[in-house]
Amino acid sequence: MNALVTGGGGFLGRYVVEQLLAAGAKVRVYSRRRFPELEAQGVVSLAGDLRDAGRVADACQGVDTVFHTAAVPGIWGPWSLYYETNVVGTQNVIAGCVASGVARLVYTSSPSVVYDGRPHEGADESLPFPDHFSAHYPKSKALAEQAVLAANGSAGLRTIALRPHLIWGPRDNHLLPRLIQRARLGRLRQVGDGRNKVSMSYVENTAHAHLLAASALSEGRACAGKAYFINEPEPVVLWAWVNQLLAAAGLPPVRGKVPTSVAWMAGAGLEAVARLMRSKNEPIMTRFLASQLSSSHWYRIDAAARDFGYGPVVSAEEGLRRTTPDLRRWAGGG
């Protein structure tokens, strides 16, 4: 395989790169900056913006597989930022693939593209896109996913969208560090009754799913043009899992509790204030976050297991063991 990984210097992207290298692939990455540490491993590192169509097209030349993991994450910020990077940027990747005759495109989507504010318990890929999104990120990812799947078959391009849920693990630069920081500062509160279950995706398993999907596309399996949930087979009780992480980090468990309705109303108010003040900082609570923290959202992976053999290669227990040094470092303020 001769592969391009957009966002190859990021959290998930770097694991995809490492697994590709271990499999003997030639790898190039396209990110906002170059990564000398990857170049030292034989990776071609290209710096550029997803919004630069010409630069993206150049990056796609001469490769047979593109893993598009790059995106603007988070739940706060102007729609223009999410649209231009996550939607237009993905359209640029598709156009680059078509122009260069790339055979396979594996897109990193998100289960939030189908999140409608209601509990999802054992849900599968039959869930439709909602009519309304409560944050810009899921809306932008939904539009991008639809573009990727619609491009399947264009100029011989085969596409697939993977929806990993709450990716975690060593070198996390988003989910776990923020969680630990809030707990360290005494700002973490349980939202809801604490019984809600969620799916989790250990990062090495998520990267493994990307390579399996690419292989399945090359073999002409029926997964082309489809989206798949990617997570561990069994959900966790969210707040019990959070306390397990805190214990591994050497921090006390979450003690304060906030009713879902109170958190949701607080989120609505804080969002309104932030918009009025034109603040670039994410409010400590939003409606989307209140819903995510208090409701169940876990997904079946039967389709991914059936269509391209996905299953975890690292257990949740081993994943926690590997992540514990980082948890302790974050708890120490590092």
The greatest distance separating any two alpha carbons of the chain, rounded to the nearest whole angstrom, comes to 56
Strand partners, 163: 229
d(CA 136, CA 142): 10
Strand partners, 140: none
Question: Would you say residue 218 lies in a domain?
Answer: yes
With CA atoms as reference, report the closest residue to 223 among 154, 164, 304: 304
CA geometry: angle 135, 137, 138, nearest 5 deg: 80
- The region, left, alpha or beta by phi > 0 then psi within -120 to 50, assigned to residue 220 is left
pLDDT at 37: 93
Q: How many domains does the chain have?
A: 1
The model carries a pTM of 0.94
In angstroms, what CA-CA distances link 326 with 171, 246, 322, 330? 7, 12, 8, 6
Question: Would you say residue 103 lies in a domain?
Answer: yes
Directed axis angle between helix 89-100 and helix 136-150, to 10°? 20
Query: Long-range contacts of range 118-121, CB-CB < 8 Å, 24 or more positions apart?
Result: 118/295, 119/196, 119/295, 119/296, 119/297, 120/296, 120/297, 120/298, 120/299, 121/197, 121/296, 121/298
pLDDT at 290: 86
d(CA 172, CA 187): 20
CATH number at residue 37: 3.40.50.720
Q: How far is CA 279 from the centre of its chain?
A: 25
The catalytic site residues sit at: 137
Question: Would you say residue 214 lies in a domain?
Answer: yes
Question: Would you say residue 149 lies in a domain?
Answer: yes
Residue 186 three-state SS: coil
| Average confidence (pLDDT) per 10 residues, the chain, 334 residues | 96 97 97 94 96 97 97 87 97 98 98 93 96 91 98 96 97 92 91 95 98 95 96 96 96 93 89 82 82 92 97 96 96 79
Question: Would you say residue 275 lies in a domain?
Answer: no
Question: Would you say residue 278 lies in a domain?
Answer: no
Question: Would you say residue 259 lies in a domain?
Answer: no
With CA atoms as reference, report the closest residue to 113 among 94, 90, 96, 97: 90
pLDDT at 334: 64
Question: Would you say residue 6 lies in a domain?
Answer: yes
pLDDT at 280: 76
With CA atoms as reference, report the closest residue to 69 among 110, 41, 103: 110
Directed axis angle between helix 287-294 and helix 260-276, to 10°? 160
pLDDT at 87: 98
In angstroms, what CA-CA distances link 317 with 194, 249, 313, 320, 324? 21, 15, 12, 5, 11
Segments forming the whole domain that contains residue 215: 2-171+199-233+298-313
